Amino acid sequence: MNFQAAQARIKELTDLVNHHNDLYYNKSKSTISDFEFDQLLKDLIEIENQFPELKSPDSPTQRVGGTITKEFENVTHQYPMLSLGNTYSKEELEDFNGRVAKGLEGEAYEYFCELKFDGVSISLIYENGLLVKGITRGDGVRGDNVIANVKTIRSLPLRITSEQTPIFFEVRGEVFLSKEIFKQLNKEQEEDGEEAYANARNTASGTLKMQDSSEVAKRKLDCYLYYLLGENLSVQTHEEAIHKIESWGFQVSPTYKKCTTIAEVIKYISYWEKERTNLPLETDGVVIKVNNLDQQKRLGTTAKVPRWAISYKYKAESISTKLNGITYQVGRTGAVTPVAELEPVLLAGTTVKRASLHNANEIARLGLHIGDSVFVEKGGEIIPKVTGVDLLQRDPNSVSVSYISNCPECGTELVRKEGEANHYCPNERGCPPQIKGKVEHFIQRKAMDIDSLGEQTIKQLFDLRLVKTPADLYDLKKEDLLKLDKIKEKSAQNMLAGIEASKSVPFESVLFAIGIRFVGKTVAEKLAHYFKSMDQLAAASYEQLLNAPEVGEKIAASVVQYFSEDRNVEEVSRLKSAGLQMETSQQEPTQLSSKLAEKSFVVSGIFENYERDQLKEIILANGGRILSAVSGKLDYLLAGENSGASKLEKAEKLGIKVITIQEFESLLN
Ligand code: IVH
């Protein structure tokens, strides 16, 4: 493809992707499948990689990330980001109203009420219609520019096409993870054997500060806007400003309401107190703003908060109940979670009987005694939590809780690894919930997809000592299955057919199914793609693993550890004999050219416009080879920012050519 053709195709693809994005996010419609959409994006990425000079800052490919930012630029806010005064009662709200009335000296005024979204505030700077900065609140005066991460938020316009936008303006809003996405994220954490995130707000905040924007893109952050700033915006009220940003394509929560009296404000507050549970994101209160901008200006601000706005915070519903005892759950990975068993109590519409206590530190922090009267709260967290003890009610004869030292399921002594908060049961192959958990993990849809088996069947197969590891499933005979409760000929046949069908499940699913710690579905896909077969993966060294995309020290160490254990090697070999897919059937990446034929590369460091994996793919697609370490055989060390000092030294010593990204690009063109 020549330059001109590329330019035309980029324009065409960009328009198409933007069109479908707009349909999906702003009009809740989709006229193509996710696959077709991804394909368009992929085509666009490919051409942009070939012609990096044609990549525009508002290209929809920015949504999938790829930029790595080691250190965010710290910038001063054009207008300081103030916080809001809080109120917790009708009386405090009346006081606020009194101050506003007094400040406006008897003039009529209106309020604009919005919900207080429980996320992370962000300031977005647009210049000439183009999104150029996304700044965190920081200390209110200066914040971090996390623009690459902000661009992954699909509902945010990267460019405003409306003709009436000012040359410069700023919009502020709240970045959040919706309840649904957060739940999904935690489900994945659990499936990967990782600890669940405690709440959506902190997770959104952590996500916004991640260095790798392609990881951020996967988290699916979202954003509601609620504030427009700038000069000569030709709006007289906050309401007009909100309608304006809506018309420019920004996402505004439709929950706002203009109120003329404080009684109406209070009605709004009461309405949303219950109704907010049905919203897609967490909210923790209401923000009440004086609607007229001129009045806002006259009321002014104190050093920290505006005098023209205030928040009303909903009380996190809290209740006290009796702690009947503590039980301990053992998960698939052996992690032990203490659970508070409570006297059932009604809280925020549901009966609460249990609450997570997280780990031993949390129990110690709370200083729990069995029989204590404890406070239970349901805030942003999904699972209710114990927030404190009512010491006045404590029975002086009660005993304090001491953490168990042995596994409640198999009696093995628990271990606690340095730096980890959780206790673990190390008896991986003999501890019933771990054994059953591993088989359940193996058969799940994302793994071997054997839906003719379920939790109950696995339990019975385990109780009858027919299945102790996933490989045992492939030795099952019809007679074995007929021993199960209520299982007749037909269901037995169904089960066997399901097990048989799993033999054609692709290698990456098999790799995920065997349950190597920290190897979730995405990592399994990357590993399968990179190493091509189980044998090559098993033979890979720690360093070679680190070279694979998405693999960091934790995952590399875990893979090495897995294949160093004989019982795992034996299990994998039994699965192989059973006929499972142990190699990838994926096509080699399409060959773009042979410009780098016979040339070998090591890629090191961070690159402004490329992800390291992306560079490796470009090298392979142009006929080059990737080596894992600098040696005499190497042709080029492609060095970005912060590339390893030892690699550079070694290259120099061996007389290996060290090239910059610009030099690399000129090799290709
Ligand atoms: S307006 C000067 N509106 O609450 C007023 N803030 O406690 C600027 N927040 O930092 C804020 N929802 O992150 C406003 N509808 C809303 C909001 C909202 C959530 C957050 C925002 C701010 C914090 C202040």
pLDDT of residue 542: 95
Atom number, ligand 1, closest to the C-alpha of residue 305: 2
Coil vs helix vs strand at 663: helix
How does residue 417 score in pLDDT terms, banded at 50, 70 and 90? Answer: confident
Q: What is the pLDDT of residue 635?
A: 93
Report pLDDT for 594: 85
Give burial (CB, 10 Å; 0-12/13-18/19+) of 587.
Answer: exposed
Q: Characterise 667 by phi-psi region: left (phi > 0), alpha (psi -120 to 50), beta (else).
A: alpha
Q: Tell me what percent of the residues of the chain surpass a pLDDT of 70.
A: 98
- Mean pLDDT for 620-635 is 84
pLDDT at residue 55 is higher than 90: no
* CB burial of residue 31 (10 Å; 0-12, 13-18, 19+): exposed
Which region among 451-465, 583-597, 624-638 has the lowest average model confidence (pLDDT)? 583-597
> 450-459, 589-598, 632-641: lowest mean pLDDT where?
589-598
CATH code, residues 507-578? 1.10.150.20
Q: Which of 79, 83, 84, 250 to mutate to test the pocket of ligand 1 (most atoms within 8 A of CB)?
A: 84
Q: Which residues pair with 120 in a beta bridge?
A: 175
Q: Could you tell me whether strands 625-626 and 600-604 are parallel, antiparallel, or unpaired per DSSP bridges? A: parallel
Distance CA 114, CA 240 (A): 14
Element (H, E) at 175: strand 168-176
pLDDT digits (tens, 9 = 90+) for 102-157: 999 989 999 999 999 999 999 999 999 999 999 999 999 999 999 999 999 999 99
Q: Between the CA of residue 655 and those of 277, 559, 637, 649, what are the distances in Å?
A: 65, 34, 11, 10
Give the mean pLDDT of the chain. 91
Domain 600-668 class in CATH: alpha beta
* Ligand 1 atom with minimal separation from the 227 CA: 1
Domain 432-504, CATH among 3.40.1160.10, 3.30.420.10, 1.10.150.20, 1.10.3720.10: 1.10.150.20
Decide if pLDDT at 302 tops 60: yes
Active centre residues (catalytic): 116
Residue 606 reports pLDDT greater than 60: yes
pLDDT at 383 (0 to 100): 76
Residue 117 near ligand 1, beta carbon < 6 Å: yes
Pairing relationship of beta strands 636-639 and 657-659 according to DSSP bridges: parallel
Mean pLDDT of 548-561: 88
Give domain 76-313's CATH superfamily: DNA ligase/mRNA capping enzyme (3.30.470.30)
Residue 439 scores a pLDDT above 60? yes
Q: Tens of pLDDT along 267-289?
A: 999 999 989 989 999 999 999 99
Cα–ligand 1 centroid distance for 116 (angstroms): 6
Report whether residue 84 contacts ligand 1, using a CB cutoff of 6 Å: yes
pLDDT for 588 equals 55
318 beta partners: 377
Q: How many whole angstroms from 216 Cα to the centroid of ligand 1?
A: 23
pLDDT tens readout for residues 334-373: 999 999 999 999 887 778 999 989 899 999 999 999 999 9
Query: Residue 502 has what DSSP assignment?
Result: G
Closest among 217, 252, 224 to 60, alpha carbons compared: 217
pLDDT, mean of residues 215-219: 89
- Cβ(77) – ligand 1 distance below 6 Å: no
**Which of 194-198, 253-257, 520-524 is predicted most confidently?**
253-257
* Ligand 1 nearest-atom number relative to CA 301: 2
| pLDDT of res. 538 | 97
Region 83-88: what's the mean pLDDT?
A: 93
Q: Average pLDDT, stretch 642-656?
A: 87
pLDDT digit string (tens) for 242-255? 999 999 999 999 99
At residue 338, the 3 state secondary structure works out as: strand
Neighbours of 430 (CB within 10 A): 15
Q: What percentage of residues in the chain have a pLDDT greater than 90?
A: 66
State if residue 87 touches ligand 1 by the CB under 6 angstroms criterion: no
Query: What is the model's pLDDT at position 380?
Result: 60
Residue 390, SS3? coil
pLDDT at position 416 over 90: yes
Same-fold call for 432-504 versus 507-578:
yes
Confidence (pLDDT) at 381: 61
For ligand 1, say whether the CB of 311 is within 6 Å of any of its atoms: yes
CATH C-level class of 3-55:
mainly alpha
312 CB near ligand 1 (under 6 Å): no
Work out the end-to-end distance of the chain between its first and last CA atoms, rounded to an integer number of angstroms: 12
Asked if pLDDT for residue 204 goes beyond 90, the answer is yes
Tokens, residue 196: 């669940």
Domain definitions of the chain by residue range: 3-55, 76-313, 318-393, 432-504, 507-578, 600-668
**Which residue has its alpha carbon closest to ligand 1 atom 22?**
83
Please name the fold of domain 318-393: OB fold (Dihydrolipoamide Acetyltransferase, E2P) (2.40.50)
> What pLDDT sits at residue 643?
81
Give me ligand 1 centre to Cα 252, in Å: 13
Q: Average pLDDT, stretch 435-459?
A: 93
Is residue 581 pLDDT above 90, yes or no? yes
Stretch 290-319: mean pLDDT: 92
* pLDDT tops 80 at residue 233: yes
Residue 365: which of 341, 331, 400 has the closest Cα? Answer: 400
Q: 137 C-alpha vs ligand 1 centroid, how far in Å?
A: 11
Q: Are the CB atoms for 545 and 556 separated by under 8 Å?
A: yes
Nearest CA to ligand 1 atom 6: 116
Q: What is the pLDDT, as a whole number, of residue 179?
A: 92
pLDDT of residue 225: 98
Fill in the DSSP letter of residue 93: H
